[in-house]
Amino acid sequence: MKPYGEQGIALFHNERRALIGFLLIYVSSSIVMLGSIGFLYYKEKIATIDRYCDVSMENMAMQIKMEILDHKNINSFFDDIERLRIGLYDQNHQAVVSNLTTKKIDFDQTNYTHKTSAFFVSSFIKPVDGIKYVVIEDSKVSGEMIKLKSLIWTMFFIASFFVAIIGYFLSRLLLNPVKENFAILNRFMKDSAHELNTPVTALMMSANYLKKSYDKEMVEHMLMSSKMISEIYNSISYLAFHDIDIEEKELFELSKLIENSTQYFKEIAASKSIILNTKLNPLTIYMDKNSAKKLINNLITNAIKYSYSGKSIDIILQGNVLKIKDQGVGINKKDQKKIFQRYKRINKQSAGGFGIGLDIVLGICRSNDIVITLDSKIGKGSTFTLVFPQEKGN
């Protein structure tokens, strides 16, 4: 599988399935909504057309009946009608004069629709000049209904298409953070495996060597490798179990804890010919001791990783301020906030690590009201400063 940077917007199987599921739910619900709106609109328009036709045909029938009662010439009605057609019938349902489109008229109904036209039937109580029935036909009503249906279906398909397009891009937009997190975790696992591989390989080589002959230097290498594995494990387990761990705060001497951590990392620093210099004044703090140890260990580990070989690291505790200064690669100003993000690595080339140490540091500082600042220059090194809250009475 290609790395995240190379695979672009390609989707994994689970992501594709989630995308299809989202689209089906989103598009189908939108189509149901659009269909309901279209149906209600169609029914309303049809009702409007029917009302208009009924009123128009009824008015026309009344005008013609009045003209017939007055024995006037009604030929003008046949000539001027654009939309409405007229049929005059005797009491035997025989056409006297008609321009209707059909000869089949239902004289028992007043209003009805037949095939492509709507009809209105009005009658005299007694025939007048041989005319008993006046029939009005609206021959264009069905055409309007067909046009209305075509318009609604066209708008429905266009709207459905845009809903599908919007749903697709919306789902891709929603999946992007998931894809990014997955890629970050994937890279984290690879980096973790790489980080663990180095000390494990060293341990195996040293153990094989010790089978043949005892060597103090090999024992130191094994000790150093085991410490590296231990620190990696501690960092991963802290992230995994910190939410359920119960912190037990207590008063303890911070300078002693720092001194123990410095001794612990001496072998690892020596592997890069780095000297750890300490200047520690007494400071009593109140916090969880394991969290404090993790805080100091991560800062020292970070300083060792990004220091140049043959340099020194200064660890200074004065008052309630702790400074850890290395002589290493340094960090750009724009990247100094990013390094506290989980799994974020700025210097991927020069040093190891997989981007969880400083995230842990920031989390511990925030939960214990410790102010942390960073001063760094490219090629010169970095200084992390911690300001611990002062205990009352100190």
Task: Domains for the chain: give ranges and CATH numbers.
Answer: 1-195 (no CATH), 246-387 (3.30.565.10)
- Quick one: 71 exposed, middle or buried, by C-beta within 10 A (0-12, 13-18, 19+)? exposed
pLDDT one digit per residue (tens) for the chain, 394 residues: 343 333 334 455 666 677 777 777 877 888 888 888 888 887 787 777 777 777 888 888 888 888 888 777 777 666 655 668 888 998 888 888 888 888 888 888 888 777 677 888 888 888 888 888 998 888 777 677 777 788 888 888 888 888 878 877 777 777 777 677 666 666 666 666 566 666 666 665 665 666 556 666 656 666 666 666 666 666 666 655 554 456 788 999 999 999 988 988 887 888 889 999 999 999 999 998 988 988 998 899 889 988 999 999 999 999 999 999 999 888 888 777 777 665 455 555 444 444 566 778 888 898 899 999 989 888 889 999 999 998 654 4
* Residue 8 confidence (pLDDT): 39
* Residue 200 confidence (pLDDT): 64
* Residue 7 confidence (pLDDT): 39
Q: In angstroms, rounded to a whole number, what is the distance separating the alpha carbons of residues 322 and 283?
A: 10
DSSP states along 109-148: -SEEEETTEEEEEEEEEEEETTEEEEEEEETTHHHHHHHH
